[in-house]
Chain A
Amino acid sequence: MSVREVKVCLLGDIGVGKSSLVGRFVHNSFNPNLTTTLGASFMSKSLTVDGNTIKYQIWDTAGQERYRSLLPMYYRNAAAAIVVYDITSEATFDVLQEWITELHRLGPQNIVLAIAGNKCDLEEKREISRQRGAEYAQEVDAIFMETSALNATNVEEIFVQISRRLPASTASPYLTPGGQSLLKTDSGRRGPCRCGSG
């Protein structure tokens, strides 16, 4: 069985919980004292959905302004992006909309967009209604979920939804089950990639 590798990138304002979501998805753990990310950190995790295994290459970007100009590097060639906001903060929802606009304008074509309204465990502090988030997502044709990295609500589900939405053609033809064989078949053969669709 071949494993398909898919690049996915997390974007969103500082402090909305991007790293916590990744930590929950990859390690099923929650660390309340995560420090801020330097640029972007990388993690990977495989997920099997409907019998297809996808290895997610997850780029978890920093929300600080300082790194802002770097971020196109991380969504470039991504098959999916998860844009995160904090349901308890109106400001982060504005930033989310900026990101969606930028991705539409400069992101890869056919990128699968997902919107995560994080910290849904903090109902009492909510500033953005569920409906508002959902309507916006529908408007921009994105997957929508309210998530909680703290209690694991919808964290894996959002990746499952993304897996189902990935077009078959983004299946990366260069990825074979073992890196080893990949090296062998490639060596000495430069020039046009022999892969079919691309």
Chain B
Amino acid sequence: MAEGGPPRGATGTGGGGGLGEKETWELFSNWVCCVCVVTFDLELGQALETVIPSDYKLSDTEKSNICYLAFPDSNSGCMGDTLFHIRIRCTGSGTGGTDLRPTNHHYGAPLVLMPDPAYYYGFVYFRQVKDSDIRRGYFQKSVVLLTRLPYITFFNFIIQRIAPEYFTHGLASLEAACGNMNQWPPPRPGQQLHLPILGQIIYVRLPTKSDKPAARDGEGPVIKKSSSVVVIPSVHDLNLHQALQPVLNNFEMIWELVITNEPIVVMGPSPTLCANTVQALVSLLHPLKYASDFRPFFTIHDSEFKHYTTRTQAPPRVILGVTNPFFTKTLDHWPHVIKLGEISSSNPGTEESRPHQRSRSPGDLSDTRPGVFSRYKPFLQKDKTFARLVISNKTPPGKRPMEVQNVMVKKHALELTTSFIIPLERYLASLMPLKRDVSPWRPPPQLKPFDSELFLKGMEGAGPHLTSRVKGNWTGLYQ
């Protein structure tokens, strides 16, 4: 295999006289595993119509998961185009299992942006339109871009760029797009990258772990400077304010649920809203990486549906985004439910859903109002300043620009996470051996054991209350 690479690779970056029948996909695979087209077949249901590169190996489970998750679950409401992302477990043993391993290309990337060896991220662009030529009366098709890189905003942009062109111009345009991606330089953090795609150049810089976490200005995902150049200011920054709008009232509680790894289900009216909210929840912990499983969009057809919804065990410590009302029954034993409310007719993304007071029973299914349903008693109190500044800004709407709101939400989450981590870090550092004890002529020094009582005692003098204005029982939270 490797022998086939160099000759083409040598001309590939530059010579680039195009890609013949037998091209290698070396540069492409630095970024993307494959691009699939999923169609609705009257006999078979969802079916994989095309995979580029055609020799990319997906296991049967992976194929089935891609097919089912590529269509909205109860899709009557999804006329037109729908954009969302999914996350599926890799089960393949073929190229799927190995090809996007972390390499030195990713050296220096923040933890949260490292390629995920165990999961695929799938970026889905679903189109459903009336078409009287088709027997069922509807055209239904999805383009799915599969990757291991969690560059959510970046790939959302890419799929929005290539899928509509595919629907207009057919397979040739998808090949052309993949051909362009096969010219992309490796995703090296910290470098200004120029990435050609279908007649445009994308300017993007991947962050490094030494970037200041709050340095981002919370701008929209894409700034178009002209049609031939597009600047993507951040590959992964989400609009937290928008995604968490229905639950901002309970912000500190939500953060607690995520950092303590509680099972959470997000119920929303569309895959788009669910996926964004689940991703936003996970990103509340930045710069920490959410270590459990999460599924921005999950359906009853997922191969892990049974495993995750069983009643014989306690709910798994995962975050799921669902749209099918069926889940209100299946998951009524889950302790924490976030409801996103109905889509308002005007603009589903920016709807002003009134958050309701918390602590309603999660089992109260008749209640479709947005908000958090949980019996959880938070350890931390609400930050009144945050609440006043961010939440009450809503009237009149748009008094403060969305970007600013978003930055404030992000800052607040970062402050909570760092305040939580600092005492832990400090205590752990005290367990480390002293430098003078580390010597090649002596046996390796032992780490002192983690003594939670000692740690909690130390909190009195150096706890999170020093760095966060959020009051409450931090000690309880650690326990």
A interface vs B, CB < 8 Å?
A: 5, 7, 19-20, 23, 26-27, 29, 31, 34-44, 57, 59-60, 62, 66-67, 69-70, 73-74, 76-78, 172, 174-175, 178-180, 182-183, 186-190, 193
Contacts and interface: CB of A to CB of B under 8 A. Distances in A.
The 7 A-B residue pairs whose C-beta atoms are closest, nearest first, are A39-B176, A35-B20, A37-B18, A34-B17, A38-B179, A42-B196, A188-B217
Nearest to A72: B199
A35 B19 contact: yes
Given A35-B19, A38-B19, A179-B203, A26 B14 contact: yes
B246 interface: no
Residue among A70, A178, A193 with the most chain B CB within 10 A? A70
A180 B220 CA distance: 18
Nearest to B178: A38
Nearest to A179: B192
B contact patch SS: mixed
Contact of A41 (B17, B165, B168, B203): B17
A contact patch SS: mixed
Contact of B176 (A34, A40, A78, A193): A40
5 contacts: A38-B178, A57-B196, A178-B192, A187-B216, A187-B217
Interface of B: 11, 14-21, 23, 165, 168-169, 172-173, 175-180, 183, 192, 194, 196, 198-199, 201, 203, 205, 216-220, 223, 225-229, 231, 233, 403
A186 B403 CA distance: 13
Contacts of A59: 196, 199
Contacts, number: 138
A144 B19 CA distance: 30
B403 A188 contact: yes
Contact of B205 (A35, A37, A42, A183): A183
A39 B220 CA distance: 30
Given A36-B18, A38-B175, A70 B169 contact: yes
A37 B17 contact: yes
A73 B180 CA distance: 13
A34 B165 contact: no
B62 to A, nearest CB: 26
Contact of B17 (A23, A42, A73): A23
Contacts of B216: 187
A39 B179 contact: yes
A70 B233 CA distance: 28
B97 to A, nearest CB: 27
Contact of B14 (A27, A66, A70, A187): A27
Contacts of B172: 39, 66-67, 69-70
A77 B227 contact: yes
B179 A41 contact: yes
Given A41-B179, A41-B180, A57-B201, A34 B403 contact: no
A70 B227 contact: no
